[in-house]
Structure 1
Amino acid sequence: MPRPHCPRCCRPLDHCLCALIPRLDSHTRVLILQHPSEVGHALNTARLAALGLGNAELRVGEVLEGLPQLLAQPGYRPCLLFPGEGAQPLAQFAEAGQGTPPLLVVPDGTWRKARKLLHLNPALAALPRVALPQGLSSRYRLRKAPMPGALSSIEAIVQALDILEAPARFDALLKPFEALIEGQIAAMGEEIFRRNHLRD
C-alpha cells in the first residue's frame, strides 16, 4: 500500500515540510518552468520555492502553452536566469530597470533538460539572459555539482532575490530544503553519507 502524501508539498505525510515553508513577498515575479522529469524528484526544490513565494508561479512541461502571454505580464521586465555567453550580471539588469520589477524566469531541470526547454520554446531563448555572481557554492551535499557555482533551483532563486530585492533577504526559503537534505542523510546513515559524499 503506498504511503500517504501531503497534497501541498507532495512529501510523505510523516515527512511533511509545510510547517517549514515560509510565505515571502517580493516585488520580483518568479516564473519557474519545470521539466516534467523533475516532478517526481525526491527534492523537487522548484515546488518548495513556488510554495514559499507569494509572487511565484510554477509551470510544468516541455513545450509550454501560453508562454508568450506569461512573459508579457504588464508592469514587469522579463529575464531568463541562465548562465553562459551573453548573460549579464543580475545586478546590472536590475539597475537598468529604472524601478520596473523583473519577471525572473527560472528553468528547472538538469543542464541538458534546461537547454531543451530553451530549444523547444523560442520565446524563452529570445529573453535577455542574466547570471548570478561567480563563486557561489551549493548546500546540496548529496549531489556533486556538475560545474563550479551550480546551485539547486531554490538556491538560485534565493540568491537572485537577495540581489534584486536587497536589503531584503530570502534565506527562510531554504529551511525546508535543508530539512529535506538532513532527512535524507539521516535515512542513509551518517557513515554511508561520509563515505560516499565527503570524499575529496
Structure 2
Amino acid sequence: MPRSCCPRCARPLSHCLCALVPRLSSRTRVLILQHPAEASHALNTARLAALALSNGELRVGETFPGLAAELAHGTYRRCLLFPGAQAMPLAELAQDGRPLQLIVPDGTWRKARRILHVNPSLAALPRVALPEGLQSRYRLRKAPMAGALSTLEAIVCALNILEGDARFDAMLRPFEALIEGQIAAMGEAVYRRNHAGGPER
C-alpha cells in the first residue's frame, strides 16, 4: 500500500518538510523548468526551492507551449542560469537596476540540455553562471563536474549574489533535513560505503 504523501512538499507524511520551508520574497523572479523524470525523485530540491519563494514558480515538462511568447514580453530582463562558454558571471547583473527573471533548468545535465534543445527560445537567452570553486552539500549524489550544485543550492547562491549575502540561506534548512533523512533511511554503513568514500564503522 503506497504511503500517504504531503500534497505540498510531496514527501511522505512521516517525513514532511513543510515546517522547515521558509517563505521568502525576492525582487528576482525565479522560474524553474523541471524535466518530468525529476518530478517524482525522492531528492526533488527544485520543488523545495519553489515552495520557499513567493516570486518563484515550478513548471514540469520537456516542452513548454507558450513560453516563447511569454519570454518575448514583459518588463523582466531574462537570463538562463546555465554554464557555457558565453555565460556572464552572475555578479555582473547585481549592479543592473532592472528586475531580473532567472530561468533555471532542473534535471541531470543531459536532461537539462535536452530542455534547451527542444525549446529554442530558452537556448537563445543570455546565460549567467555562478562563481567557480563552489562546493555542494549534496552528499548523496556525486557531482558530474567541479562546482556542480543541486538546483536549490544554485538558486540560493544566485539570489544571495543578486540580493544580499546569506539572505536566502534559510532555504537550505529543508534541503539539509532531506539529505539527513535519506542517510538515516539507508543506514550509516551503507552511506559510507556508497557515498562518503570512507570505511565502515
Structure 1 residue aligned with 2:142: 144
CA distance in 2: counterparts of 1:53 and 1:194, whole angstroms = 34
Aligned equivalents of 2:156, 2:129: Cα separation in 1: 13
State the identity as a percent.
72
For residue 124 of structure 1, the aligned residue among 114, 122, 128 is 122
8 Å contact 1:23–1:54 — kept in the other structure?
yes
Query: Which one of the candidate residues 157, 161, 164 is aligned to 2:162?
Result: 164
Aligned counterpart in structure 1 of residue 153 of structure 2, from 143, 152, 155: 155
Gaps of 5+ in 2: none
Residue 64 of structure 2 is aligned to residue 64 of structure 1 = yes
Report the Cα offset of residue 75 of structure 1: 2.6
Unaligned runs of 5+ in 1: none
Distance 1:73 1:21 in 2: 32
Q: What RMSD, in angstroms, separates the aligned Cα atoms of the two structures?
A: 1.2
**Deviation, structure 1 residue 167:** 4.2
Match of 1:52 in 2: 52
- Corresponding position: 1:11 with 2:11: yes
Q: Aligned AA for 1:79?
A: C
SS in 2 for 1:181: helix
- Match of 1:130, SS state, is strand
2:105 corresponds in structure 1 to 107
Note if 1:42 corresponds to 2:64.
no
Deviates more, 1:46-55 or 1:165-174: 165-174
Query: 1:195 and 1:69 mapped to 2: Cα distance?
Result: 49
In structure 2, distance between residues paired with 1:20 and 1:191? 27
Matching residue's letter, 2:78? P
